[in-house]
Structure 1
Amino acid sequence: MLGDYALTILGAARVTLTLAGASLLLSVVLGMVGAACKLSRRRWLRLLAGGYTGLMRGVPDLVLLLLVFYSLPALVNQGLEAFGSDAYFELDPWVAGILTLGAIFGGYMTETFRAALQNVPRGQIEAGLACGFGPIALLRLIIAPQMIRLALPGFANNWLVLAKATALVSLIGLHDVMFRARGAAEATGQPFLFYLVAAGFYLAVTLVSVGVLRLVADRYAFERRE
Structure 2
Amino acid sequence: MNRNLLLLETIRLEDGVFHNLSYHQRRVQASSLELWGCPVMWNLGESIWIPENKRKDLYKVRVVYGPDTFKPQILPYTIRDISSLKLVFGDHIDYGLKYEDRSEINTLFDKRGDCDEILIIRDGLITDTSYANVVLFDGEKWYTPKYPLLPGTRREKLLHQGKILEADIRPQDLDDFLELRIINAMIDMDHSPSIPVSTIQ
TM range (shorter): under 0.3
More strand by share: 2
- Where relative contact order (Cα < 8 A, 6+ residues apart) is larger, the structure is 1
Which protein has the bigger helix share? Answer: 1
> Normalising by structure 1, what TM-score?
0.24
TM-score normalised per structure 2: 0.26
